[in-house]
Each structure stands twice: as C-alpha cells, then as structure tokens.
Amino acid sequence: MSLDVVRIKKDFPLLSRTVRDGKELVYLDSGATSQKPYQVLDAERAFYETSYAAVHRGAHALAEEATIHYEDARSAIAGFIGAAPSNIVFTKNATEALNLCAYAFSNATSLSRQGAGSRSIDPRFILKPSDSIVISEMEHHANLVPWQELCAKTGATLRWFSLDDEGRLDLSNMDTLIDSTTKVVSIVHQSNILGTVNPVRAIMDRAHEVGAVGIVDGCQSVPHMPVDIASVGADLLMWSGHKMLGPTGIGCLYGTSEILDAMPPFLTGGSMIEMVSIETSTFAPAPQKFEAGTPMVAQAVGLAAGVRYLEEIGMDEVAEHEAALTDHTLSVLTAIPGVRIIGPSTTFERGSTISFVVDGLHPHDVGQVLDNLGVAVRVGHHCAWPTCRRFGVPATTRISPYIYNDESDIDRAAAGIIAAQEFFGVAP
C-alpha cells in the first residue's frame, strides 16, 4: 500500500477520538460522508478570519478579496476534473444539482406551454408524453426521484437499465432502451451501494447519438478516482463536496458551456440576473445563472483546500490505495462463512463501497455490534431501495473506506462481523 495512512490520519482530528466507552474509532462510512483534515478546517477558518464579505457585489476591499477567494476555489475545483471554471456551478449538494438538471426540463416544458414570450427555449429540454428518460436500477434516490417527478409532470416515460447478478448494468439492450424518444440519460458513475463502476463513456456516446442530454452522477467517483471530464463525455456531471474532505453545504455541477447556456435556471432571485424590471428579468451567463442568492463562499474555500489535499496525494495513488483495500475487504469478507457480497466480487471496474449481507442477521444488528466495537459502517438501503429490491434484500451493511483507512481497519470490521454472528448465535 503506497499511502502513508498513519501520517494522513494525523491530519484528521476527529479520527483520534474514541467512541462507545473509550473504543478506538474505525471510520468506514466515507461513502456517506468523509471526515475533514485540518487543511480544510483551517482554510475555512482563515477565510472567515481575514477575508470574509459578500461576493460579486459591493466595491470594498473585503468584497474584492472574498470574490477572489471564491473564484479561485472554483478554478481549483474545476481543474480537479479538467474543466474550465466557468463550467462549474456551485449547489448545496449533488441532490440539488440533480434537481437543477431535472427542473431545467420541467421549467422549459412549462414555459413552452405558456408561450415563452421573447425567450428562446431550447427544444432539447421540452418534454412530451412520448419522450423517455433513461436511468438504471442502481441509482441513488437523488438520481431517481427527480426523474420520476419530471415524468409525472410531463407524461414522459421512465426507463432503466437492469442489473445482472454481479451488480453490473445489462447493456445488451442499450440501443433500444436509449432510442429516438430519449431526452435524458442519467447514470451513476460508481454505485454507492454496489461499488460497480459503469462504462459511462459508452452510455454517454449512445445518448448523444440520439440527441439526448447525458448526465453522470459522480458522487462516488470524483472523490475516489481520477475523473477527467473530457473522457467521461457527459454534458452534465455532479458531485458533493462533503464526500471528498470538503465541508457540508456545497456540491458541484459541471456542465458544457453549450448546455449551461441552453438550460433555464432552477432557483431565481438575486445574483443570477442580468437586468431586472418590475415586469420581467434577464439572466446572467452561467455559472451565475444557476447561483441565486448568497452563495456558499466559505464552503467553496474549504472544498478547494480538500481538492488540494487530494491532489497532493495524487488521485492515481488514492485509487490504487482504495483498490488494494477493496481487494483486501472482498477477500476477508468472503472468507467469513455466511457473508455474501452484494455487488461485483472482484476489483475489476469496481470501487471501494462494499455492501454485504450476513445470513440470519439483519444489517441493523450487524451495524449495532460493529458500533459497539467502535467500527462505524452504514446500514440500510443506502438511498438505493430499488437496488436492494433487485437483490432481494431489505437492506445491506456497507463498508466504505477512504484515504485514512488501512487493512487493520478492515480487519477490525471483519472481527466485528464474526462477533455479531456469535452474539446472535447464527455462525454457520
């Protein structure tokens, strides 16, 4: 393992605390949210202590400095995925970014029904009942419910890629699933429950063949592997800052210039306008068009520090470290009788979110025993209820390590699973 985990751990103050009567904490829930290093905490604090003011308004020195910090953060974050700063929109989180995308379609559709006046509405965003939207059976609810709602509002049909028993997309019917009726294809890059890494390039290419807008949910890929936006080929890609060392309250939406120009805004109000009269308004160019109201400035500064932290380690090294940990996790889990992995069984095109079930034990009870030993994992349906249904389980237990975890953490989780089997008397 190439990362110096002992040194990295020292940067994360929370990881030195104990839980449940003095037990050393093993944090294996980074798929839900990551812990924060001093570098991020310090950057946010320093910004508040020295340069804080409203951005993009006011002409005083502090407002200028704050704006520079905010836009520098945008540049750093854009650079992380190989994008230009003007192609990055800040949102509250990935969920809001996905809603921003879905609302572009419903807003365009209702504006066109009203007769949009002088405004030109890009026909790609206008949905008819004969249109379709394509997702997959492994989507997080954030990339499912907004599309269900859009279908309910427009009459469009929701379609999805189904999954095979290994938890991979069945792409055999891609050309009929994504056809001339398809207006949106929105697919997760790496599943938060199965760990599967999807061939998003091929899916985006097919979306573009039929003129659909291609969206990739990068929540579990951007924090964990090198993601170069040009090679993903998506029109829109979003992720949350809090899963990659950044603060809560900031998400990022990448969009091509062409798409961002064409999309109607989601939230409207201050900061996103060009001209306002009492009757009507025009909007600023992207990204400002999508950043209504006072933005999350300190959070952007914090996230930029997180990005720099990851860049110093190197995303190739992060991915390599996680692949080694995934390999170790898969082998120690499959060595425990009664444990079944839900998702790909090898590291091939698979990330480090590792779900499993234990025969005779409910995930809540597994998680409780692990928690009692100081090991924090996620239990439940992981906001991917349809995926659980596909595998016939009500819920799973999930281990999701990050840069601050090593094999000993995984081994403590494995020991906890065996302890749970013993406690409940279900060891095979």
Partner 1 sequence: MNLESLYQEIILDHYKHPRGQGLLDSPLGSAHHVNPTCGDELTVQVGVGSAGGLVVGYEGQGCSISQASASVMSELVSGHSVQDAETFRLAFIEMMHAKGTGEPDEEVLGDAVAFAGVAKFPARIKCALLGWMALQDAEIQSGLLTNQSEEHSP
Give the footprint of partner 1 on this chain (CB under 8 A). 20-21, 362-365, 368-369, 372, 379-381, 385, 388, 394-395, 423-425
Task: Tell me the per-residue interface mask from 169 to 188 with ligand PLP, x by CB under 6 A, - otherwise.
Answer: -------------------x
- For the chain, helix, strand, coil in percent to 5 are 45, 20, 40
Cα 280 from Cα 273, distance rounded (Å): 11
The binder of 128, among partner 1, ligand PLP, none, by C-beta within 5 to 8 A per type, is none
CB nearer to ligand PLP: pick between 159 and 242: 242
Alpha helix segments (H runs only) across 221-274? 229-232, 257-262
Q: How far is the CB of 423 from partner 1 (least distance, A)?
A: 6
Spatial neighbors of 221 by CB under 8 A, at least 6 apart, are 189, 190, 197, 227, 239, 351
| Given 101, 219, 383, 388, the catalytic residue | 383
Does residue 151 carry a catalytic annotation? Answer: no
Three-state SS across 120-156?
A: CCCHHHCCCCCCEEEEECCCCHHHCHHHHHHHHHHCC
The verdict on 11 binding ligand PLP (CB under 6 A) reads no
Nearer to partner 1, 10 or 381 (CB): 381
Q: Does 240 bind ligand PLP (CB under 6 A)?
A: yes
**3-state secondary structure (DSSP) of residue 381:** coil
**Single residue of 83, 94, 204, 297 touching ligand PLP by CB under 6 A:** 94
| 326 vs 397 by CB, closer to partner 1 | 397
Instruction: Give the contacts of 177 (CB within 8 A, at least 6 positions apart).
Output: 134, 159, 160, 161
Output the smallest distance, CB 141 to ligand PLP, in A. 8
Provide the residue count of the chain.
Answer: 428
* Token pair for 75: 């540049």
Angle, helices 315-334 vs 297-313, to 10°: value is 80
**Distance in angstroms (rounded) separating the CA atoms of residues 80 and 139:** 24
Contacts with ligand PLP in 132-171 (CB under 6 A)? Answer: 140, 142-143
Picked from partner 1, ligand PLP, none, the partner binding residue 188 (CB below 5 to 8 A depending on kind) is ligand PLP
Binding status of residue 216 toward ligand PLP by CB under 6 A? no
Examine residue 245 and tell whether it contacts ligand PLP (CB under 6 A).
Answer: no
State the nearest-atom distance from the C-beta of 23 to partner 1, in Å.
10
Other beta carbons less than 10 A from residue 37's beta carbon? 24
Q: Tell me the C-alpha to C-alpha distance, in Å, between residue 206 and each of 20, 119, 227, 231, 386.
A: 51, 30, 20, 14, 24
Task: Pick the piece of the chain touching ligand PLP (CB under 6 A) from 20-28, 75-83, 214-222, 368-376.
Answer: 214-222
Q: How far is the CB of 361 from partner 1 (least distance, A)?
A: 8
Measured CA to CA, the distance from residue 135 to residue 129 in angstroms comes to 17
Single residue of 99, 220, 352, 396 touching ligand PLP by CB under 6 A? 220
Residue 424 Cβ vs partner 1, minimum distance, rounded to whole Å: 7
- Closest to 101 (Cα-Cα) out of 249, 218, 226: 218
The listed partner (partner 1, ligand PLP, none) that binds 140, CB under 5 to 8 Å by sort, is: ligand PLP
Residue 365 interaction partner, one of ligand PLP, partner 1, none, beta carbon < 5-8 Å per kind: partner 1
**Rounded to whole angstroms, how far apart are CA atoms 179 and 234?**
17
372 touches which of ligand PLP, partner 1, none (CB within 5 to 8 A by kind)?
partner 1
> What residues line the site for ligand PLP (CB under 6 A)?
93-95, 140, 142-143, 188, 192, 217, 219-220, 240, 383
Please identify every residue annotated as catalytic. Answer: 383
